[in-house]
Amino acid sequence: MADLIPSTSDARTLNNSTKQHYRLLTDAEKAQVDIVKQRGAEFIAFLHEIGGTDPEAERMASRDLSLSMTHMEDAVMRAVRHITK
């Protein structure tokens, strides 16, 4: 299993083949990234709750809930990109 680096760690600037340069984030930016990701995870857990599916499984109860999860993942990614630019 590969070593995992938290998204708020300064070590995320190392060993990256697609984005050649990262800037170090301020403590406030790190906190924002963490909050965005936490709230996204909470929303996805809620989708599993209303669909009656296992939160450990990626499969949702319906296509609509699956699309909701996809859009939440996209929203989180875009918010993080905004913070980390």
pLDDT digits (tens, 9 = 90+) for 7-37: 777 776 666 666 666 788 999 999 999 999 9
What average pLDDT does range 76-85 have in this prediction?
A: 95
Nearest to 69 by CA among 29, 49, 5, 34: 49
Cα separation, 27 vs 10, in Å, equals 10
- Confidence (pTM): 0.77
pLDDT over 70 at 70, yes or no: yes
36 φ, ψ (degrees, to nearest 5): -60, -45
Residue pair 32/83 in contact (Cβ under 8 Å)? The answer is yes
